[in-house]
Amino acid sequence: MVNEEQSGMGQVFKSDDRFSDGSQESSRSSTPSPDADGLQEKIRRHIESGDKWFSLEFFPPRTSGGAVNLISRFDHMAVGGPLFIDVTWHPAGDPGSDKETSSMTIASTAVNYCGLETLLHITCCNQTKDQITQHLHKARHLGLKNLLALRGDPMGDEWKTEEGGFNYASDLVKHIRSEFNDYFAICVAGYPTGHPECKSYEEDLRHLKLKVEAGADFIISQLFFKPETFLSFFKDCRAMGITCPILPGIFPIQGYHSLRQLVKLSKLQVPQEIKDIIDPIKDNDAAIRNYGIDLATDMCKVLLESGLVPGLHFYTLNREVATVEILKRLRLWTEDPRRALPWTISANPKRKIEDVRPIFWASRQKSYIYRTQDWDEFPNGRWGNSSSPAFGELNDYYLFYLNSNCSKEELLKMWGEELVDEKSIFDVFTAYITGQSNSNGKRVTCLPWNDEPLALETSLMKGELEKVNQMGILTINSQPNINARPSADPIVGWGPEGGFVFQKAYLEFFTSAENIPTLLKVLKKYKTRVNYQIVNVKGENINNAFDLQPIAVTWGIFPGREIIQPTVVDPISFIYWKDEAFALWIERWAKLYPTGSPSWQIIQDIHDRYYLVNLVDNDFPFENCLWQVIDDLFRLKASEKTCGSPTCELPVKP
């Protein structure tokens, strides 16, 4: 919100084509009801409990690469526990479009794919009433439910009357309320020293009160440099009869040039005592940042200790170091290892009841959300058994929020600039599991199926995973068996306090077609203890799933609640996942090399010849038998090779 919208220094979640004609009625019929636990309600609860909170502002980047990095930053900063984030609206950047750098796209991605409560800025600037209404309907359709309503800064030197539009934020707030009632939580801007275009500070306070009376739920202030400035503004607002929550906007000084630019745009004066400190170190970014961290931390402490400030809103400039350091010093950065569910919950209100997902997308959660975005209902309580889950196609591997955070050059250094044989592939998988450097001295931090570092629970199976990957069992998903671990366990815990969590051992991997006959012989001896599904790229499917019923592989028991089973192995969904899993060999790995080159051909051969296998050990209270299954596979293969007959028997002890 710094200087309204000029702080922006700078297919996706699919929108409905019906918006192209400006239709309102069609979008109303397909959008969710308001979330009973809206942002204004969350703020109210925090104020009543005395729990302090923070929120973060970001602006849309200029490039697609910047969009990838920003979404990654959302994921990183989400672990600190912001109550919400907000995304600015930059009129020059086509903010309401489906472009990957638009405000609408970035905000909807934060909600749907990162699970963040998100506030979308929207301005009157350069827009008609109908255009604004269309943006609002689109925002609602995409799952956005919070707005920061602003007049916006003029495109030129002076504000020009918007014919057929709005010229004041209060009129925009009235319009939102008249069209959408209470669906959106609405925030407005407050100016601790008065808006630069207003005749007086007192007149600006009167305008602020009009915005609140029009239907605003809370206020976020423009930046300021002294805590006394905000506290005085707060008291003046209360004296004026403004009773809604008012959040201070905190701007950590992070560089000399960024400070000058923001001061120019916001038309604020930097106090002389701050200038006197910064000017001698203006060429030392680290020194300025450290000073900015100290200054902002001290200011925030005064604000919080005043008893008037329930939370802090940070203007991050899309950077994280300074803001995170300030929050840690204030003890507001809470990296709570506990998760509500084993997977990231979308903040889209239509998915609020969702509490069951197939395990296959555990490391590609954004892809799962994308492929299920058009579902009318989401599983709650149990997965059920559907012959047609209707997963959307995933042909858009280029989408920025489905893309790798690494450049092509980085991926080649990790996965091999030139592959020699299949063993080269085994080595890449093994290096990823072990965390050790590859033959190029480069750590492998991701795979086509796993763009993030390994989950903590992988450490419980690291030795076994290393061993099987070296043998050509190329694992892309796994979990250990867990029997009644506390829900607060830092590695496998999830859900409310006082509960216990359970898991069946699960292993999913690619392996060559030559291993499948022997694997089936081994699995036959384990009878019902191990459920399996084996499929190739053509869809040839071998399984022992009873009537294609889903299998619960993760569940939890909590005080005063029904059993929750958030993760299942669903044989039908696996067929949809297999298309994506095989395609990633080509889309993410083979395409790094020239078509037809030896490296490209090695990947293509694996894609064509390997099978995708998942195994579930149903006897979760006992020692995981899946590693023994793999050992038996290779022992039997060696035995068959020795005796020269595929009918050799090998004792197997499940």
What average pLDDT does the segment 557-567 reach? 93
Cβ atoms of 392 and 373 within 8 Å: the answer is yes
Q: Please classify residue 501 by burial: count the beta carbons closer than 10 Å to its beta carbon, then call 0-12 exposed, 13-18 middle and 19+ buried.
A: buried
Percent of the chain with pLDDT over 90: 69
Residue of 525, 425, 516 lying closest to 475 (CA atoms): 425
Strand partners, 285: none
What average pLDDT does the segment 601-627 reach? 97
Helix (H) or strand (E) holding 581: helix 571-584
What average pLDDT does the segment 53-78 reach? 92
Confidence band, pLDDT 50/70/90 cuts, at residue 17: very low
Q: Is 158 a catalytic site residue?
A: no
Cβ atoms of 245 and 25 within 8 Å: the answer is no
What average pLDDT does the segment 379-383 reach? 80
What average pLDDT does the segment 194-199 reach? 88
Tens of pLDDT, residue by residue over 336-351, are 767 889 998 999 999 9
DSSP SS3 for 322: helix
Q: Is the pLDDT of residue 498 over 80?
A: yes
Residue 10 confidence (pLDDT) = 32
Confidence band, pLDDT 50/70/90 cuts, at residue 9: very low
- Range among 14-23, 159-168, 577-586 with highest mean pLDDT value: 577-586
Residue 455 confidence (pLDDT) = 85
Tens of pLDDT, residue by residue over 229-245, are 999 999 999 999 999 99
Q: Write down the mean pLDDT value for the chain.
A: 88
How far is residue 583 from each of residues 477, 497, 593, measured CA to CA in Å?
16, 40, 15
Tens of pLDDT, residue by residue over 351-363, are 988 999 999 999 9
How far is residue 650 from each of residues 28, 50, 169, 638, measured CA to CA in Å?
64, 66, 77, 10
CA dihedral 188, 108, 45, 237 (to 10 degrees): -10
Confidence band, pLDDT 50/70/90 cuts, at residue 31: very low
Q: Which residues contact 158 (CB under 8 A, 6 or more apart)?
A: none
Of 70-74, 258-262, 556-560, which range is least confident? 258-262
Residue 152 confidence (pLDDT) = 82
Tens of pLDDT, residue by residue over 449-476, are 998 878 889 989 999 999 999 999 999 9
Q: Is the pLDDT of residue 548 over 50?
A: yes
How far is residue 15 from each of residues 18, 180, 370, 579, measured CA to CA in Å?
9, 19, 12, 24
CA dist., res. 511 & res. 586, Å (int): 16
Q: Is the pLDDT of residue 29 over 50?
A: no
∠ CA 214-215-219, rounded to 5°? 105
Tens of pLDDT, residue by residue over 592-603, are 999 999 999 999
CA dist., res. 164 & res. 167, Å (int): 10
Residue 524 confidence (pLDDT) = 95
Residue 6 confidence (pLDDT) = 37
Residue 8 confidence (pLDDT) = 37
Cβ atoms of 409 and 440 within 8 Å: the answer is no
What average pLDDT does the segment 619-629 reach? 96
Q: Is the pLDDT of residue 23 over 80?
A: no
Q: Is the pLDDT of residue 437 over 70?
A: yes
Point out the catalytic residue in the list 5, 57, 117, 354. 57
Residues in the chain: 654
Confidence band, pLDDT 50/70/90 cuts, at residue 334: confident
Residue 381 confidence (pLDDT) = 78
Tens of pLDDT, residue by residue over 107-136, are 999 999 999 999 999 999 888 999 999 999
Residue 256 confidence (pLDDT) = 84
Q: Is the pLDDT of residue 306 over 70?
A: yes
Residue 639 confidence (pLDDT) = 87
How far is residue 299 from each of residues 208, 230, 235, 292, measured CA to CA in Å?
24, 10, 17, 10
Confidence band, pLDDT 50/70/90 cuts, at residue 627: very high
Residue 410 confidence (pLDDT) = 94
Region of 381 (left: φ > 0; alpha: ψ -120 to 50; beta: rest) is: left
**Domains in the chain: ranges and CATH:** 40-329 (3.20.20.220), 354-643 (no CATH)
Q: What is the pTM of this model?
A: 0.84
CA dist., res. 589 & res. 596, Å (int): 13
Residue 33 confidence (pLDDT) = 35
How far is residue 490 from each of residues 45, 338, 342, 371, measured CA to CA in Å?
27, 7, 12, 30
Helices marked H in 486-553: 516-526
Q: Is the pLDDT of residue 415 over 80?
A: yes
Q: Is the pLDDT of residue 651 over 90?
A: no
